[in-house]
Amino acid sequence: MPASQSQPKPTACLALADGTLFYGQGFGAVGETVAELVFNTAMTGYQEIMTDPSYAGQVVTFTFPHVGNVGVTPEDDETADPVAAGMVVKWDPTEPSNWRSVEHLVGWLERRGRIGIGGIDTRRLTRAIRQQGAPHVALAHDPSGNFDIAALVKKARSWTGLVGLDLAKDVTCAQSYRWDETRWAWPGGFGTRTEPGMRVVAIDYGAKRNILRCLASAGCDVTVLPASATAEDVLALEPEGVFLSNGPGDPAATGSYAVPMIRGVLDRSEVPLFGICLGHQMLALALGAKTIKMNHGHHGANHPVKDLETGKVEITSMNHGFAVDAQTLPEGVTETHVSLFDGSNCGIRMAGRPVFSVQYHPEASPGPQDSYYLFDRFAEAMRARRGA
């Protein structure tokens, strides 16, 4: 059988900066995008991954082949629109089969301007990322199958990458707002917090909605401020607690304005402070530590993390390409959690004060509830201070 009849003509191309090419079938939006390529090992949650602001500037390779099988629903959006630049999958998305589905993944991506490529040997691609580090890539989708390969490789090679790039400013909210929606529960879905709660100011570096829901469910009356908020902005709201959210990009770049704010809050108040992911890195920088770029990062829902203070092992969800360098933690700052995959830092706390943070995502339910205690710990710290 002629090759033209045995398989369809490629309509999408993934070009790596080293010249490696992957051809497949395009879906979603038509066009090109340039980004860093990472892989995610989660077996579920592709919609949450694509709408997680922490994936700004990245194309995601899904190691699990069944992507699109449960469709999409607005309830699973972590922010208003997809933030990840594109997706790479082994098999083309199938027709959805789930009672919650309201739309096909392909149409959702097309309407939201995100490119997908299917028919890729994702195992080979993942091995390459692990061995060589997260590469810069150009992803193109053209239904006619015409690609300027030299131009795509050049674009991938010319992209500056995430180091030194502040992306929090691109995904943060434009103005402050209140949040009162609580976690999803059967049979009613999401709830609404109506009773008075502890006043929490959440700094939005790219906050996932489910983190805000967990705060509300833990008893917090949440006000969200943009990433550029100053210590004066935060303290003017008289918070009983301050939360630092997840987000994308190089923490050192975002730290140019986030660190002074955090230091100002710590110096001028005794309120409990809790950080997740980029918020963890921001707190570490504010306390005097440093961050480093990882080879391929941690992206998935099966990451074991050990609590060094209790000995408990949690199965966590992670999404980060930078990490806190534990060797740089200053006196008075304790390492509380470590990854059992590579020993990298996953948590810190400040001695003598209710100030702590974790690198992973306790709201993402991979355990499924191994790490919810962190929200309760934050709430208890605020209650204790209120009682005192």
pLDDT, one tens digit per residue, over 187-226 is 889 999 999 999 999 999 999 999 999 999 999 999 999 9
- Asked if 232 is an active-site residue, the reply is no
- β-partners of residue 317 are 361
Task: Give catalytic status of residue 380 as yes or no.
Answer: no
Q: What are phi and psi of 356, to 5 degrees?
A: -155, 165
* Whether the Cβ atoms of residue 214 and residue 359 lie closer than 8 Å to each other: no
Which pLDDT tens digit goes with each residue over 59-76? 999 999 999 999 999 999
Domains of the chain with bracketed CATH: 3-158 (3.50.30.20), 168-387 (3.40.50.880)
pLDDT in tens, the chain (388 residues): 344 456 789 999 999 999 999 999 999 999 999 999 999 999 999 999 999 999 999 999 999 999 999 999 999 999 999 999 999 999 999 899 999 999 999 999 999 999 999 999 999 999 999 999 999 999 999 999 999 999 999 999 999 999 999 999 999 999 999 999 999 998 889 999 999 999 999 999 999 999 999 999 999 999 999 999 999 999 999 999 999 999 999 999 999 999 999 999 999 999 999 999 999 999 999 999 999 999 999 999 999 999 999 999 999 999 999 999 999 999 999 999 999 999 999 999 999 999 999 999 999 887 788 899 999 999 999 999 998 7
Q: Which two tokens stand for residue 265?
A: 């809050």
Catalytic residue among 32, 36, 314, 363: 363
Annotation says 181 is catalytic: no
The length of the chain in residues reads 388
> SS in 3 state form for the chain?
CCHHHHCCCCCEEEEECCCCEEEEEEEECCEEEEEEEEEECCCCCHHHHHCCHHHECEEEEECCCCCCCCCECHHHCCCCCCCECEEECCCCCCCCCCCCCCECHHHHHHHHCCEEEECCCHHHHHHHHHHHCCCEEEEEECCCCCCCHHHHHHHHHHCCCCCCCCCHHHHCCCCCEEECEEEEECCCEEEECCCCCEEEEEEECCCCHHHHHHHHHCCEEEEEEECCCCHHHHHHCCCCEEEECCCCCCHHHHHHHHHHHHHHHHHHCCCCEEEECHHHHHHHHHCCCCEEEEEEEEEEEEEEEEECCCCCEEEEEEEEEEEECHHHCCCCEEEEEEECCCCCEEEEEECCCCEEEECCEHHHCCCCCCCCHHHHHHHHHHHHHHHC
Can you tell me the distance from the alpha carbon of 264 to that of 326, in angstroms, rounded to the nearest whole number? Answer: 23
Question: Would you say 383 and 222 are in contact if contact means Cβ atoms under 8 Å apart?
Answer: no
- Nearest of 44, 91, 89 to residue 71 by alpha carbon: 44
Give the strand order in the sheet containing 177-179: 177-179, 220-226, 198-204, 241-244, 273-276, 355-358, 345-350, 333-339, 291-307, 313-324
Does the CA dihedral 386-373-100-91 come out positive or negative? positive
Task: Please give the backbone phi and psi of residue 271, each rounded to the nearest 5 degrees, phi first.
Answer: -70, 145
**What is the pTM for the complete model shown?**
0.96
Cα 36 from chain centroid?
14
The one catalytic residue in 277, 296, 299, 320 is 277
The pLDDT score that the predictor gives to residue 318 is: 96
List the structure tokens of 209: 């909605």
**Amino acid in the structure at residue 78:** E
